[in-house]
Amino acid sequence: MGMALMRKFIFRYLIPRIIQYLTIIFVGITVTFIIPRLAPTDPVEAQVSTMVAMGSSLDPESIEAMRTALTDLYGLSGSPVEQYFTFWGRLFRGDLGPSLDNFPTPVSSMIGQALPYTLRLLIPAVIISFIFGNVFGAMSSYYPENKALKVIEVLGQVVRSIPYYIVAIVLLVVFAYFIPIFPFSGAYPLGTRPDWSSPEFILKTIEHAVLPAATLILIGFGGWFVGMKSLTSNIISEDYVVYAETAGLRKNTILTQYIMRTAILPQLTALAMVIGTVFSGALIMEVVFGYPGIGGLAIRAIYSNDYSMIMGITIYSIIGVATAVFVMDLLYPLFDPRVRYQ
Amino acid sequence: MISIVRDLLKYDGRFRLAVIFLGGVAAMILLSYNSPYDPGKSFVVPWDLPPSQQYIFGTTSRGQDLFWWLTFAVRNSLFLGVLTAIISRVIAILVGLTAGYRGGWLDRVLMSLNDTFVVLPLLPILILLGFLLRERMSLFYLAVILGLFGWPFDARLIRSQVLSLKERSFTRTAIYSGSSGFWITIHEHLPFVLPIVFATTINNILWSIGMEVTLSILGLSDLTTPTLGTALFWANQHGALVAGIWWWIAAPALVTIVLFLGLYLFFTSINEFIDPRTRLRLIGG
Amino acid sequence: MALLSVKNLHAYYQTEVYGISRTVRAVDGVSFDLFPNEIYGVAGESSCGKTTLIKVISGSIKPPLKALEGSVNYTFGDYSVDMLRASQDELRQNVRWKEISYVMQGSMSVLNPVRRVIATFRDIVDTHEGITDKQKFLEQTRAHVNRLGLPTDVLDAYPHQLSGGMRQRVAIALATVFQPSLIIADEPTTALDVVVQRGVLQMIKEIQAISSNTVLLVTHDMAVHANVADRLMIMYAGRIAEEGPTETIFNEPLHPYTQHLIRSLPMIGERSTKVSLEGAPPNLAHPPTGCRFHPRCPYVMDVCRTEVPELVTVKERHRVACHLVKEDSL
Any B CB within 8 A of C15 CB: yes
Pick the residue from chain C with its C-alpha nearest to A240.
C110
- Return the pLDDT at B185: 65
Each residue of A81-94: b (16+ CB within 10 Å) or e?
Answer: eeebeebeeebeee
Residues of C in contact with A239 (CB under 8 A): 104, 106-107, 109-110
- Return the pLDDT at B82: 95
Beta strands in C3-103 (DSSP E): 4-17, 20-34, 39-43, 65-76, 79-82, 100-103
What is the mean pLDDT of each successive set of 10 residues along chain A, which is 342 residues long?
77 89 92 84 74 67 77 78 88 82 84 92 94 94 90 86 85 84 77 77 85 90 90 87 87 92 91 88 88 91 87 92 92 86 68
Q: Are strands C214-218 and C20-34 parallel, antiparallel or unpaired?
A: unpaired
Residues of A in contact with B281 (CB under 8 A): 233
Dihedral (Cα; C146, C150, C152, C156), 10-degree rounding? -140
* φ/ψ (deg, to 5) at B205: -60, -45
pLDDT of B234 > 60? The answer is yes
Q: Write the residue in C95, C104, C113 that is nearest to A243 by C-beta.
A: C104
Chains that contact A by 3+ CB pairs under 8 Å?
A: B, C
**Tens digits of residue pLDDT in C123-143:** 999 988 888 899 999 999 999
C6 touches C30 (CB < 8 A): yes
- Return the pLDDT at B283: 42
The most confident of A210-214, C29-33, C260-264, by mean pLDDT: C29-33
User: Helices C164-175 and C117-128, interaxial angle, to 10°?
Assistant: 10
More confident residue, C126 or B6: C126
Chain A contacts in chain B segment 194-233 (CB below 8 A):
206, 209-210, 213-214, 217-220, 232
pLDDT of B277 > 60? The answer is no
Q: What is the DSSP-derived secondary structure letter of residue A106? A: B
Q: Give the C-alpha separation, B10 to B22, whole Å.
A: 17
More confident residue, C194 or B95: B95
- Return the pLDDT at C240: 94
**Domain locations in chain A as residue ranges:** 44-95, 109-339
Q: Write the residue in C115, C128, C161 that is nearest to A257 by C-beta.
A: C115
CB contact under 8 A, B268 and A325: no
CATH topology for A109-339?
A: MetI-like fold (1.10.3720)
Chain B contacts in chain A segment 93-122 (CB below 8 A):
none
Q: What is the DSSP-derived secondary structure letter of residue B134? A: G
Q: What single string gives the DSSP state of each residue in C128-181?
A: HT--S-HHHHHHHHHHHHHHTT--GGGGGS-GGGS-HHHHHHHHHHHHTTT--S
Q: How much is the mean pLDDT over chain B?
A: 84
pLDDT of C330 > 50? The answer is no
CB contact under 8 A, A280 and B256: no
CB contact under 8 A, C158 and A341: yes
CB contact under 8 A, B283 and C64: yes
- Return the pLDDT at C232: 95
Q: Are strands C79-82 and C100-103 parallel, antiparallel or unpaired?
A: unpaired
CB contact under 8 A, B120 and A27: yes
- B41-55, B189-203, B214-228: least confidently modelled range: B189-203
**Residue C243: its H or E element:** strand C239-245
Q: Which residues contact B39 (CB under 8 A, 6 or more apart)?
A: B64, B68, B69, B72, B73, B226
CB contact under 8 A, B132 and A43: yes
B231 touches B166 (CB < 8 A): no
Any B CB within 8 A of C24 CB: yes
Q: Write the residue in A27, A170, A287 that is nearest to B113 by C-beta.
A: A27
Q: What is the DSSP-derived secondary structure letter of residue C127? A: H
Best of A161, A178, A231, A306 to mutate (most B CBs within 10 Å, chain B): A161
Euclidean distance between the first and final Cα of chain A, in Å? 11
Give the pLDDT mean for B20-47. Answer: 89
pLDDT of C274 > 70? The answer is no
Q: Give the C-alpha separation, C296 to C283, whole Å.
A: 13
Query: For residue C254, what are the CA distances in angstroms to B37, B55, C276, C307, C312?
Result: 89, 86, 18, 18, 11
Q: Write the residue in C13, C18, C19 that is nearest to B284 by C-beta.
A: C13
A119 touches A111 (CB < 8 A): no
Partners of residue C81 on adjacent β-strands: C74
C330: helix, strand or coil: coil
pLDDT of B52 > 70? The answer is yes
ipTM score assigned to the predicted complex? 0.86
B118: distance to nearest CA of chain C, Å?
28
pLDDT category of residue B284 using cuts at 50, 70 and 90: very low
Q: Give the C-alpha separation, A240 to C218, whole Å.
A: 19
* CA nearest to B274, candidates B193, B170, B178: B193
- Return the pLDDT at A185: 76
Q: SS3 string of B231-279?
A: HHHHHHHCCHHHHCCHHHHHHHHHHHHHHHHHHHHHHHHHHHHHCHHHH
pLDDT of B174 > 80? The answer is no
C29: distance to nearest CA of chain B, Å?
21
Any A CB within 8 A of C123 CB: yes
**Tens digits of residue pLDDT in C292-319:** 999 989 899 999 999 999 999 988 789 9
Q: Which residues contact A203 (CB under 8 A, 6 or more apart)?
A: none
- Return the pLDDT at B184: 65
Q: Give the C-alpha separation, A265 to A271, whole Å.
A: 10
Euclidean distance between the first and final Cα of chain C, in Å? 29
Domains in chain B (CATH in brackets) are 2-282 (1.10.3720.10)
Q: What single string gives the DSSP state of each residue in C176-237?
A: TTT--SEEEEESTTTTS-HHHHHHHHHHHHHHHHHH--EEEEE-S-HHHHHHH-SEEEEEET
Chains that contact B by 3+ CB pairs under 8 Å?
A: A, C
B7: distance to nearest CA of chain C, Å?
6
pLDDT category of residue C271 using cuts at 50, 70 and 90: low
**Tens digits of residue pLDDT in C43-89:** 988 778 888 999 899 888 888 888 889 999 999 988 999 999 888 88
Query: For residue A78, what are the CA distances in angstroms to A33, A71, A87, C55, C138?
Result: 14, 10, 12, 77, 73
The most confident of B161-170, B271-280, C83-92, by mean pLDDT: C83-92
* φ/ψ (deg, to 5) at A186: 90, 170
C228 touches C216 (CB < 8 A): no
CB contact under 8 A, B125 and A157: no
Q: Give the C-alpha separation, C303 to C323, whole Å.
A: 8
Any A CB within 8 A of C109 CB: yes
pLDDT category of residue B240 using cuts at 50, 70 and 90: confident
Cα Rg of chain A (Å, integer): 25
* CA nearest to A270, candidates A318, A217, A332: A332
